[in-house]
């Protein structure tokens, strides 16, 4: 991201950027499971943005139209239902005046809406829906270099273009002036996933500029009551959701409050990632050396990802993995804001779909050249309800009210 670790180089190319800084993370784990995308930081230059439809509000750049709102619509909050497949949580969206349907990965590690263009001819593109700008009524945006820009990714340079037009999320919120970034190529790994593009929910500096930050844009237009969003990531078959404009207290145990953690800058001194200080990492009662580690909350990562040396130490403490005795393994504990957040063994171990007697750790390596970074991906965010507030910026955490036994598979 520059941070953002982001983008699966997959056509989700992200933040077009003026002076973009690129940092790459490993995009996929063993066997193609989504772990971390490559991310870049754009300081200003063409990129994409989004808009939403999810709740009951429908809004255009010029006016707001209230349709049937949810019970909490008086707070100007919007609910977006999420689907889960292949270690990915995504929402449905329609783009352009002709309502071209796309599925978008929910990614807190990037800042723009990115989808493959109709001109993308890579094999992975052929397996996904592509956006045809020529029939959509969208308008090309000038990025300062003729409307087209090349962005550097770990896998090579990718040509992208930025457009402005109608963007709708789910069935409730539409932005008539949403931003869309189109990519002309994707990595082969992208073919393993069901989603077509990416919906970036990173901090505003990750987007092309403030106008490209979804939550910020909807808040400034009065669609949302605050630049806040929350994620309730549930087990397969249960209802997961993204809430824009606030959070729902029914997702945490009665009488409990959120623990608020301040977001800390990345090594470049800019608050671009949803990251906080990690005070301690333990396996059981054994402390793991992770000096000056930062914990990055990344909904686009399907695992817990650790620096290689830290991962080696964690595996050593866990010991041999007996798939028939997973419950006997130690807890994995993260100390954040003076509190302990633990993961039980079944939350960091995944089983083979083809042979349930086989399993492996849902913990993968992640290298960050600039700092010691721990990625708290979906295993952590399923256990803990997570609220993202741009006004701090800060992150709110609480144990999810309903924790279902979730068997992770690969």
Which pLDDT value is given to residue 31? 34
- Position 117 confidence tier, pLDDT thresholds 50, 70, 90: confident
Q: Residue range 243-253: average pLDDT?
A: 93
Is there a single domain that holds both residue 160 and residue 267?
no
Question: Which one of 244, 260, 280 terminates a domain?
Answer: 244
- Burial of 85-112, coded b for 16+ CB within 10 Å and e otherwise, reads eebbbbbbbbbbeeebebbbbbbbbbbb
Sequence-ordered list of residues with C-beta below 8 angstroms from that of 74, at least 6 positions apart, any chain: none
In a domain, 60, yes or no: yes
Is there a single domain that holds both residue 140 and residue 215?
yes
Q: Residue range 91-104: average pLDDT?
A: 93
Instruction: List pLDDT tens digits, range 178-203.
Output: 888 787 766 666 667 788 988 999 99
Which pLDDT value is given to residue 321? 93
Is there a single domain that holds both residue 31 and residue 85?
yes
Separation between Cα atoms, residue 178 and residue 163, nearest integer Å: 8
Is there a single domain that holds both residue 233 and residue 363?
no
In a domain, 3, yes or no: no
Is there a single domain that holds both residue 237 and residue 280?
no
Number of domains in the chain: 2
Residue 246 scores a pLDDT above 80: yes
Which pLDDT value is given to residue 76? 79
Is there a single domain that holds both residue 367 and residue 271?
yes
In a domain, 256, yes or no: yes
DSSP code per residue over 229-275: EEEE---TTS-EEEEESS--GGGS-TT--PEEEE----TTS---S-E
164 backbone φψ class: left, alpha, beta (φ>0; ψ -120 to 50)? beta
Question: Which one of 184, 218, 244 terminates a domain?
Answer: 244
> Of 308, 295, 306, 278, which is closest to residue 381 (Cα–Cα)?
295
Which pLDDT value is given to residue 163? 86
- Tokens of residue 240, six digits: 């997961």
Please give the DSSP secondary-structure letter assigned to residue 121. Answer: -
In a domain, 142, yes or no: yes
Which pLDDT value is given to residue 124? 74
Residue appearing with tokens 């490209």: 212
The residue among 171 and 36 whose pLDDT is bigger is 171
Of the listed ranges 34-48, 108-122, 261-275, 371-385, the least confidently predicted one is: 34-48
Separation between Cα atoms, residue 193 and residue 348, nearest integer Å: 21
Question: Strand pairing partners for 199?
Answer: 106, 113
In a domain, 2, yes or no: no
The residue among 127 and 187 whose pLDDT is bigger is 127
- Position 75 confidence tier, pLDDT thresholds 50, 70, 90: low
Is there a single domain that holds both residue 370 and residue 238?
no
Is there a single domain that holds both residue 33 and residue 124?
yes
Which pLDDT value is given to residue 159? 66
Which pLDDT value is given to residue 148? 56
Pairing of strands 332-336, 339-343: antiparallel
Which pLDDT value is given to residue 114? 85
Instruction: List pLDDT tens digits, range 41-74.
Output: 222 222 222 222 232 223 232 222 222 233 343 4
In a domain, 124, yes or no: yes
Question: Which one of 187, 216, 244 terminates a domain?
Answer: 244
Domain of residue 52, residue span:
21-244
Which pLDDT value is given to residue 329? 96
In a domain, 156, yes or no: yes
Which pLDDT value is given to residue 401? 86
Is there a single domain that holds both residue 282 and residue 232?
no
Which pLDDT value is given to residue 120? 82
Is there a single domain that holds both residue 231 and residue 335?
no
Instruction: List pLDDT tens digits, range 362-375.
Output: 999 999 888 899 99
Q: Residue range 328-337: average pLDDT?
A: 96
Which pLDDT value is given to residue 129? 87
In a domain, 7, yes or no: no
Phi, psi of 145 (to 5 degrees): -140, 50
pTM score of the predicted model: 0.80
Separation between Cα atoms, residue 193 and residue 195, nearest integer Å: 6
Q: What is the CATH number of the domain that holds 276?
A: 2.40.70.10
Is there a single domain that holds both residue 236 and residue 255?
no
Is there a single domain that holds both residue 223 and residue 371?
no
Per the prediction, the chain carries an average pLDDT of 77
> Within 10 A of 375 (CB to CB), how many other CB atoms are there?
27
The residue among 255 and 47 whose pLDDT is bigger is 255
């Amino acid at each position: 991201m520059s941070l953002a670790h982001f983008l699966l180089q997959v056509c989700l190319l992200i933040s077009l950027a003026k002076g973009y800084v690129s940092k790459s993370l490993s995009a996929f784990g063993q066997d193609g499971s989504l772990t971390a995308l490559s991310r870049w930081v754009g300081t200003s230059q063409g990129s994409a943005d989004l808009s939403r439809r999810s709740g009951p509000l429908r809004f255009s750049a010029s006016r707001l139209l209230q349709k049937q709102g949810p019970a909490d619509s008086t707070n100007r909050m919007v609910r977006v239902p999420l689907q889960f497949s292949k270690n990915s949580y995504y929402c449905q969206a329609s783009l352009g005046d002709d309502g071209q349907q796309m599925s978008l990965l929910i990614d807190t590690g990037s800042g723009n809406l990115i989808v493959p263009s109709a001109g993308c001819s890579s094999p992975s593109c052929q397996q996904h829906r592509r956006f045809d700008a020529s029939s959509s009524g969208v308008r090309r945006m000038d990025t300062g270099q003729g409307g087209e820009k090349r962005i550097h990714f770990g896998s090579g340079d990718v040509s992208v273009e930025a457009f402005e037009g109608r963007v709708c999320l789910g069935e409730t919120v539409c932005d008539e002036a949403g931003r869309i970034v189109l990519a002309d190529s994707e990595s082969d790994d992208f073919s393993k996933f069901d989603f077509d593009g990416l919906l970036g929910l990173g901090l505003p500096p990750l987007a092309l500029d403030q106008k490209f930050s979804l939550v910020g844009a909807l808040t400034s237009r009065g669609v949302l009551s605050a630049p806040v969003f929350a994620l309730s990531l549930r087990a397969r078959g249960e209802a997961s959701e993204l809430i824009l404009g606030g959070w729902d207290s029914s997702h945490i145990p009665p009488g409990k409050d959120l623990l608020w953690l301040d977001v800390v800058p990345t090594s470049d001194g800019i608050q671009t990632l949803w990251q906080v200080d990690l005070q301690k990492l333990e396996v059981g009662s054994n402390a793991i050396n992770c000096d000056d580690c930062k914990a990055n909350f990344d909904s686009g990562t399907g695992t817990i990802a650790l620096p290689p040396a830290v991962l080696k130490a964690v595996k050593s403490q866990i010991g041999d993995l007996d798939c028939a005795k997973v419950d006997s393994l130690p807890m994995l504990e993260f100390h954040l804001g003076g509190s302990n957040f633990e993961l039980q063994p079944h939350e960091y171990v995944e089983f083979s779909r083809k042979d349930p007697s086989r399993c492996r750790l849902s913990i993968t390596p992640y290298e960050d050249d600039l700092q010691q970074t721990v990625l708290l991906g979906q295993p952590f965010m399923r256990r803990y309800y997570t609220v993202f507030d741009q006004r701090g910026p800060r992150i709110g955490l609480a144990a999810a009210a309903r924790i279902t036994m979730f068997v992770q598979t690969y």
